[in-house]
Structure 1
Amino acid sequence: MKYPAVLSFADILPELDGFDAIIDVRSEGEFALDHLPGAINCPVLKDEERERVGTLYKQVNAFEAKKVGAALVARNIAEHLETRFSDKPRDWKPLVYCWRGGNRSGAMAHILAKVGWPAIQLDGGYKAYRAHVSAALDNPPELAWRVICGTTGSGKSRLLETLDALGAQVLDLERLAAHRGSVLGHLPHAPQPTQKMFESRIWDTLRRFDPQRPLFVESESKKVGNLRVPDAVMERMRGAPCIALALSRRNRVRLLMEDYQHFACDPQALNGQLDHLAQLHGRAKIDAWHALANRGAMPELVEQLLVEHYDPAYLRSIDRNFVQYGQARVLELDDIAPGDFARAAQTLHAA
């Protein structure tokens, strides 16, 4: 094969995990919005440089823009060669892509190939990758979906984490979305990814699964925080067999107190989130919950939220949205210690 080789995403996909590096040469801002799984960002035009070249293109002409852009691209590629790539051996195999598979990735791939590395350039760039992801999520693979159901605080996320640690196939949408999936689900210091990044994470997880083995997922709603679960993935989940996780209310309160400790330390932030429920419960109820938060009566507040908000909402939606919930296998947890979740996970993993 002559290098740099320019290949389609369909040709690259079977070998995607075999590259020594996946190099995204787009700007930092483009990379942050979404990128191929495992890619590293090595811009050949940084954000401010890309803006400068674009302005020249619009206000002067393409020739002047290309002259300035070429100098910047050459300088940035040289920097990457002298730093990030300087220790790479002769057989180092990189995949290079940009937005459309044009000038930026072509320049990087050409120079890497001239050095002697077997560089591959993605034809169509990120746009080709994104088109593949969108099509794949419009028609998810036929997998043996198993939906973990249960009221808020019953330990669904902990069970998924334990199953994952055992080697089971797990699609943890809340982890991929960096959100716990409720009005109080925002994770401090962990912003949610973009919608496109969320979809990339889902696609990358699903593509690795064996259709002969069960896939465990939580009974999420259509939105996880600000992000939307792709419609076809939602349809697969809602038609799948269910497992009903059961835990006493006392233990659910304990579990939620552990998972939401950050709110106990910051009642102002908690009250700000509770304000979103005012339309459902009225101002008087929200003010009463604010008072509990302000005086540190967190167990009482959590129990009231379960009884008056979360449990009724769950019961209204679960039968309607998950068609096999009426035949769900019940899995009871005695407590919330790691051993309790390990035994539950082993039961499911062995089935």
Structure 2
Amino acid sequence: MKEITVEELQTLKNPAIIDIRSPIEFKDGSIPEAINIPLFTDKEREEIGTIYKHEGQAAAKWRAMEFVSHKIPSLLNQIKEAMSNGEELVIHCWRGGMRSKAVVTFLEFAGIYAMRLTGGYKAYRQYILQQIPAMFPERAVVLHGLTGVGKTEVLKNLKSLGYPILDLEEMAAHRGSIFGTIGLGEGNNQKIFDSLLYKGLSEIKGSAYFVMEAESKRIGKAVQPEELMDRKMKGINIYIHTPIEQRVKQLVNEYVLPYQNEPWYHDQISIGIEKILRRIKDNEMKKALLQTLENKDYQEMIGILLEHYYDPRYDHATLEYDGRFIDVYAEDSNDASMKVMGEIDNLIVKKKEVFEGKI
């Protein structure tokens, strides 16, 4: 049985990584691109743990065998189906214990070659936490702008053209404002965020700079590492300006039109508005927001929130940053993307030393 270390896993071009932990373990944190084919259900895993605690290891192993024995053909078929193009097959569990050893043994009997990840997911997480602090490029280009200017769209446009970007909101599965997780589920926890951050940093390895949004230290359920915060605060700042009419349109297109007919949508917006109402003292504003909520007039609601709630709070945050701000005035996110690329290209061509940390 061949074992592979986490370091060696990083050298494989396109491995088929099979995570055989229970669904609840996988949901709590996983290796990006890994496929969950659980050996035990959540309930089975819980029962085995209880037996182990009260009756000992031998009894727990016997019960595990009872659960697994009839599953083996289906399990192996699922793993075979998950493989394509002859990738190297890597099996892992929580810490490289009996679960992954058993599955690799089953695969060997079936004539399928597989490697077992030494230390399992636990070793992977320890490894990436050690690596992340030293992986950040020297300089950050930080995108600023009021809610709705399309910073996320700018990042995606830049990435499609090969610019080195870190989309932290995507990694956290959380966006700012009351619309935070609409369309993104419940948001990613710290383990998933760290895994996606490591993956993102690996993809821009060797770059002298990276582009990111001006996020708060906490994004939903996740917290940025200190090294990233340091790069952000000392970065090159680009402030995007677009007309408020365009910002409202941007937010309606992004957060309202795709979801407004979903049964959960209005309730989720209501929860967000309730949180905001607890923070404001202006009774007229409260009344206006409640009226838009009752009428389900989300466009009008967004306009009020931008002008009277989010905009006044944003500019104060920019005072925390070192260095000057480069202003970019654009009609929409596509126009902003072109102008941001122009500013970055100008810095690279004329001031390459900026990105090399020389000035």
| TM-score bracket for this pair, using the shorter chain length | 0.7 to 0.9
* Corresponding residue for residue 65 of structure 1: 60
Correspondence 1:272 to 2:253: no
Deviations 1:176-210 (A, max 9, x none): 22222223322146221222112211111111213
RMSD: 2.7
> Which amino acid is the alignment partner of residue 272 of structure 1?
I
Give the TM-score normalised by the residue count of structure 2.
0.85
Q: Could you tell me whether the CA contact under 8 Å between 1:6 and 1:121 is conserved in 2?
A: yes
Correspondence 1:30 to 2:29: no
Offset at residue 103 of structure 1 (A): 0.4
Instruction: Pick closer, same or farther for the CA change 1:342–1:147 going to 2, 3 Å.
Output: closer
Instruction: Pick closer, same or farther for the CA change 1:311–1:283 going to 2, 3 Å.
Output: closer
Give distance in 2, aligned partners of 1:264 and 1:72.
Answer: 44
* Corresponding residue for residue 326 of structure 2: 329
Give distance in 2, aligned partners of 1:337 and 1:141.
Answer: 26
Offset at residue 241 of structure 1 (A): 1.1
Offset at residue 88 of structure 1 (A): 6.0
* Number of corresponding residues: 341
1:123-272 aligned within 5 A: 123-188=118-183, 190-261=185-256, 269-272=268-271
Moved more, 71-80 or 22-31: 71-80
Q: Could you tell me whether the CA contact under 8 Å between 2:188 and 2:221 is conserved in 1?
A: no
Instruction: Pick closer, same or farther for the CA change 1:35–1:86 going to 2, 3 Å.
Output: closer
Deviations 1:247-288 (A, max 9, x none): 122322332232232586665543331221234312723233
Instruction: Pick closer, same or farther for the CA change 1:117–1:180 going to 2, 3 Å.
Output: same
Give the TM-score normalised by the residue count of structure 1.
0.87
Q: Could you tell me whether the CA contact under 8 Å between 2:150 and 2:333 is conserved in 1?
A: no
Q: Could you tell me whether the CA contact under 8 Å between 2:143 and 2:240 is conserved in 1?
A: yes
Correspondence 1:5 to 2:7: no
1:11-90 aligned within 5 A: 11-15=8-12, 17-19=13-15, 21-85=16-80
- Unpaired runs of 5+ in structure 2? 347-359
* Corresponding residue for residue 311 of structure 2: 311
**SS in structure 1 opposite 2:90?**
strand
**SS in structure 2 opposite 1:153?**
coil
Moved more, 172-181 or 200-209: 172-181
Give distance in 1, aligned partners of 2:83 and 2:198.
Answer: 30
Instruction: Pick closer, same or farther for the CA change 1:312–1:337 going to 2, 3 Å.
Output: closer
Offset at residue 318 of structure 1 (A): 1.2
Moved more, 203-212 or 24-33: 203-212
Give distance in 1, aligned partners of 2:85 and 2:221.
Answer: 45
**SS in structure 1 opposite 2:95?**
coil
Offset at residue 32 of structure 1 (A): 1.3
Give distance in 2, aligned partners of 1:227 and 1:212.
Answer: 25
Correspondence 1:282 to 2:281: yes
Give distance in 2, aligned partners of 1:185 and 1:302.
Answer: 14
Offset at residue 147 of structure 1 (A): 0.8
Give distance in 2, aligned partners of 1:88 and 1:137.
Answer: 29
Offset at residue 27 of structure 1 (A): 0.9
- Unpaired runs of 5+ in structure 1? none
